Every structure is written in C-alpha cells, then in structure tokens.
Amino acid sequence: MLADLHIHSINSDGVYRIDELIDKATKLGLGIISITDHDTIVSSIEASNSKLIKIIIGLELSTFNNGESVHILGYFNNDDNIGTFLNFLENQLANRRKRALEILEKLKIFNIILNPQFINESKSITRGNIATEIIKQGYNYTKKEIFRDFIGVGCPAYLPSLKTTTIEGIKNIHDAGGLAVLAHPMLLKKNNAEDILKLGVDGIEARYPNHLDKEDYYRQLASKYNIFITAGSDFHSYDDGMHGNLGDVTLSGNDLEMFLGKLNER
C-alpha cells in the first residue's frame, strides 16, 4: 500500500477540490492520503468521510523558530479532541488574512495591484495563493519568479510567517490528540533539524520531492531520536516547479506500518 501524506487543496494554496484529489489519488492506486492544508484541518475532516480511499486527518501548521518559518505536519486518528485546537486555528487563519492584505500593499511598489476578493474565497491564505492570483489577474510572471523577486524570504513584499512558536505548535497538536511531524526538514536554513526534533516531534518527513538524496540522513536522525518517518509529495498543482506531483513521493511497507501504529495509539 502506498500513502501520500502531504497534499494541499483549494482550502489553502492547492488548486483542486477535495473530491478531485480523492478521485486522482484513487486512479493512481494510492491506498492512503492526507490532505494537509495550511493552518486548517477542515478539509481533512471533510475528506475523512470518503468511502473511496483511506483518509488520515491532517494539516500543515505554520510555526516560527530561530527567526525562520518551521512547518509542522499534524496527523490525527479522529477528530474527537480538536475543539480547542479549532479555536487556535481560527486565530491562525485570521492572522493569515491580515498578513495577505499587508503583502498586497507591499506589491504595489512593483505596480502589481490585485483585487483582494480572493482573500475571502479560501480558508487559508498563503503566499502561494497570492502568487496564483498575480498570474490569474493578468501579470506575466511564473510562480518561481514571483517568489524569487517579490514575496520570497528577504524580498521587498515578503512578510514573515505567523508568530506561533514551534514548541507551542507541537503542544497544540499533541493536546488535540495528534502526532507532530517536522515537514520538509531539508528546506530549513536557519534551524538545524535536530534542534526541532529535540522539541518533541513524533516524526520527520524524510522523503520529499527533489530531496530524496537526503533521505538516508533523515532516516538516521529518526533512528537516533526514536521517531518514525513520513513521506509526501507536497502536491499543490501539477508541474508547478516547486513541489511534487500527486503520488510522486510515498510511504509504504514497514515505514507506513510504523506510522499507522503510532497513529492508532493516539
């Protein structure tokens, strides 16, 4: 059985609806998926009712550590204990909307003036949403160019991620009955992956698109800290140049069994 445990829908910065993602995953022969939208778990809870494929409730939580955005994937066996967590996430989403409006103001220095209506059309607004809208609203740039020149880290229209600390984010996931996993550790610049593991995560995303050459190293870290590994495509849209395509990177075999075993213990 193959599992893609890192997927985004239109409820954050993906381009496909939940039903479309389930249909595509089923046709690919995936046995398990998790829709892990940014700072919202609603998509995954909705998807978990599917009769076509096993859905693991999840999200990608934005946190901040050592001056850098650190993403923590949260996975849940059920939604029995997430009431308080939902309140916390609503605050995250409100801050995201505020941040998006501030980024739109900054983009005006590049003569990029956007209709802000799209901010109200998605549950979670990310820089990815903004990049998509720049293109959709008629500006001739690629997403890579937009991140490189306008809204990427250190660029004039960049604003840092939310101010929830990584240790606070991990605690919130645990309090809601979930497992906390360090997402794409190979993308960290200011943080050392081991420093994040010491904060109490349960797993590490060792298999990630375009960085499979680092898998052995992260497997060694997982063994050192007695945690499991996960894998996912981080799918947003096909061939976007920044993430994998659906099903490109999967978890299987003993790795998947270990993950599911830990999840069932929660």
The secondary structure of 138-168 as a DSSP string is T----HHHHIIIIISTTSTT-------BHHH
Side-chain half-sphere CA neighbours of 25 within 13 A: 34
Domain-terminating residue out of 113, 129, 151: 151
In a shared domain, residues 75 and 97:
no
pLDDT digits (tens, 9 = 90+) for 206-221: 999 999 999 999 999 9
CATH label of the domain that carries residue 179: 3.20.20.140
Same-domain check for residues 93 and 125: yes
Residue 72: is its pLDDT beyond 90?
A: yes
- Where do the DSSP E strands lie in the chain? 3-7, 32-35, 54-55, 57-65, 68-76, 178-182, 203-207, 228-231
- Cα Rg for the chain, rounded, in angstroms? 18
Structure tokens at 100: 């998006």
Lowest average pLDDT, out of 21-25, 83-87, 191-195, 196-200, goes to 83-87
132 and 201 co-located in one domain: no
Count Cα atoms within 13 angstroms, Cβ side, for 105.
Answer: 7
Which pLDDT score is estimated for 167?
A: 97
For the chain, the domain total comes to 2
Parallel, antiparallel, or unpaired: how do β-strands 68-76 and 57-65 relate? Answer: antiparallel
Which residue segment(s) compose the domain that 35 sits in?
A: 3-79+165-265
- In tens, the pLDDT along 92-106 reads 889 889 999 999 999
**Does this model's pTM top 0.85?**
yes
